[in-house]
Structure 1
Amino acid sequence: MLQAPDFLTIGHVTRDLRPDGSFTLGGTVTFAALTAYRLGLAAGIVTCADPELISQLPTFLPSIALHARQSAQSTTFVNQYQEGFRTQYLRARGESLQVSDVPQDWLEAPVVLLGPLAQELAPDFVQLFRRRQGAIIAATPQGWLRRWDADGRVWPTPWQDALRVLPFLDVLILSHDDLLPFANGNRQEADAILAQWSLHVPLLIATDGRHGATLFRHGETQRFAAYTITEVDPTGAGDVFAAAFLTHLYRHGDPARAVDFANSTASFSVERQGIEGIPTLELVEERMRTYGRLR
């Protein structure tokens, strides 16, 4: 029997390759679970990876509950950044996850984040969890918005199952940039897509890097300024934002305050490499206090 964590996230852990051939542990589930834990929640991950990486996960994630199925290989990315834009290559892909991979007792986790990276979660996952008062079912859909060519280069692809998934979610969180390829690079057209999606889900949040984030509630928008920092590594910032937003929403129930809290949390994550920048609750609140945003 595995006790349900407060915060459950599902998707592939990844090897993010460095230029020297070494790797850092990545993936939405990695950044999100660590963020929730450092903000004070018990966190758990359902994933699959190769046996060697699975054996290393307790060292990388010593305080995170893990349920990992073995796969012949782990999802492996190369991320290249230039002038704020990322070119990404998929070098290997783990097996798709199955609904049976989720421990029965974990189905009652009060906060669930679906974090696909490479089309590894079928739309059926969203119906696995019982809707109930006080619980939150959320998704970051970047992995449903990706395809890759024969060379492994990752390209955007339309989210074909959006209208099948959104009605079963409480929260959708994504990057504004994820939709620009489908809006001819026009931000107003991207906002129109987001506004349309927001009619099918109670809360939708679009992050936009140094421009902050926008909260959509049934088509109505509210914008929140970012925190001014020096960016070192943007990898995982959106996942940190998502986990921070959900953690604050779960505790306090105020979406607007949760967005600002998440902006503060994500600002720390880009100041250092990989998972090293994920802050504690005390650091997040101190930065908010410095900016005069803590109430």
Structure 2
Amino acid sequence: MKAAFLAVGNISIDLIHSAGGFARRVAGSSFYASLAAARLGVKSAVLAKAGADIVPSRDLAPLLRAGVVLDGLVVGGSTASYELFYRGEDRTLRLRRVGEPISPDDVRSLNIDCQAALASPIYNEIPDETLQELRRRCRLLAVDPQGYIRKRIRGGWIRFSRWDAVKKLRGLADIIVTSKPELPYLARGRDDRSKLLNLLNSGAEIAFMTREGGAKSALLAYDGRVVEIPVVPPKRMVDPGGAGDVSAAAFVTEYLRTNEPVWSALFASSVASFIYEAFGAEAAPSREDAIERLRSFLMRFHAELYREFMAYL
């Protein structure tokens, strides 16, 4: 199976409580990431597991309409399920059901060949051996360790626990993507900037802290320095679900296209702003729409960045 972008992580059924109301939604990191990448014009595929209660023609119709390749959807066992409670951009998670692990054999059986992969477990379903197999087959490997720091406690509630990303991802990830609430559990340091820089000790070229989780700005670490990335605001706030996964996918695919990390982070901020404006990833934009919003934002508020990246705008 060939694809420019491969989203790895299980499909889930989520029960979501937010200011926009209650929703039962088919979700999961690979769902959001692959859909966003496809709408940005990138040939995308998923490697994920789900139970027989997930019917692709019904439940994954947005992916099919966007042209996402589903050859890597392995049906069997249980479908992962979360209940999410949002207060603004803060959220509390309750794990209702654990999904099946994604094994190295799942990667090998598909004969996967991709330019970039984003491995983003939702609950420990991507073991080290699978990351190693992806590393061998993909030119660029990004990892969002969100599911590695999640620990289920009594009642299914999720709390974060420390996961040493520098040690665990050493020599594996080219890019590490995380969020402000999760960063302290991945790396040590006196503040967000030093923690993000510390992630580069894993051998990763780039560490990206997205704007999700209530951060006033995103942060980008590369070449031994940290750059603050301004947040492109949404026009309205409906539902933050999926914004982090979409940010990661937008950054990885744009970096694959341009090899320019700061521009890619700005682009990801613009793409993510659309996600807040509707439920799930329904509002995932085209690349042209994302660039137009970013152009307007930079012209108005960040003239120096507008001049620096005019060639991309």
The answer to whether the aligner puts 1:269 opposite 2:267 as a matched pair is no
Residues 151, 160 of structure 2: 8 Å contact kept:
yes
Residues 162 and 14 of structure 1, relative CA distance in 2, 3 Å threshold:
farther
The answer to whether the aligner puts 1:136 opposite 2:140 as a matched pair is yes
Residues 24 and 58 of structure 1, relative CA distance in 2, 3 Å threshold:
closer
The answer to whether the aligner puts 1:175 opposite 2:182 as a matched pair is no
Partner of 2:61: 59
- Give 2:161's match in structure 1, choosing from 157, 167, 180: 157
Q: CA deviation at 1:154?
A: 0.8
Residues 138, 170 of structure 1: 8 Å contact kept:
yes
Residues 107, 130 of structure 2: 8 Å contact kept:
no
Partner of 1:32: 33
Residues 130 and 276 of structure 1, relative CA distance in 2, 3 Å threshold:
closer
Tell me how far apart the structure 2 counterparts of residues 58 and 273 of structure 1 sit (CA, whole Å): 15
The answer to whether the aligner puts 1:227 opposite 2:225 as a matched pair is no
TM-score by length of 1: 0.90
> What is the DSSP-based 3-state SS (H/G/I as helix, E as strand, rest coil) of the residue aligned with 2:82?
strand
How many residue pairs get matched?
A: 290
Partner of 1:92: 97
Partner of 1:287: 293
Residues 76, 92 of structure 1: 8 Å contact kept:
yes
Residues 37 and 83 of structure 1, relative CA distance in 2, 3 Å threshold:
closer
Residues 4, 105 of structure 1: 8 Å contact kept:
no
Q: CA deviation at 1:180?
A: 4.0
2:209 maps to amino acid:
A
2:99 maps to amino acid:
G
Tell me how far apart the structure 2 counterparts of residues 115 and 199 of structure 1 sit (CA, whole Å): 20
Q: How does 1:196-211 map to 2 (within 5 A)?
A: 196-200=198-202, 201-209=204-212, 211=216
Q: CA deviation at 1:91?
A: 0.4
1:197 maps to amino acid:
L
Please, which moves more after superposition, 264-273 or 101-110? Answer: 101-110
Deviation track 1:65-91 (CA, whole Å, cap 9, x = no partner) reads 112223332110111012432011110
Structure 1 gaps of 5+ residues are none
> What is the DSSP-based 3-state SS (H/G/I as helix, E as strand, rest coil) of the residue aligned with 1:88?
strand
2:54 maps to amino acid:
L
Please, which moves more after superposition, 278-287 or 173-182? Answer: 173-182
> What is the DSSP-based 3-state SS (H/G/I as helix, E as strand, rest coil) of the residue aligned with 1:97?
coil
> What is the DSSP-based 3-state SS (H/G/I as helix, E as strand, rest coil) of the residue aligned with 1:96?
coil
The answer to whether the aligner puts 1:82 opposite 2:87 as a matched pair is yes
> What is the DSSP-based 3-state SS (H/G/I as helix, E as strand, rest coil) of the residue aligned with 2:10?
coil
> What is the DSSP-based 3-state SS (H/G/I as helix, E as strand, rest coil) of the residue aligned with 1:52?
coil
Tell me how far apart the structure 1 counterparts of residues 255 and 84 of structure 2 sit (CA, whole Å): 31
Q: CA deviation at 1:5?
A: 1.1
TM-score by length of 2: 0.85
Partner of 1:5: 3
Please, which moves more after superposition, 145-154 or 194-203? Answer: 194-203
- Give 2:217's match in structure 1, choosing from 212, 220, 228: 212
Please, which moves more after superposition, 24-33 or 120-129? Answer: 120-129
Q: CA deviation at 1:162?
A: 4.1
Partner of 2:262: 256
1:179 maps to amino acid:
L
Q: CA deviation at 1:190?
A: 3.9
Tell me how far apart the structure 1 counterparts of residues 115 and 185 of structure 2 sit (CA, whole Å): 34
Structure 2 gaps of 5+ residues are 300-305
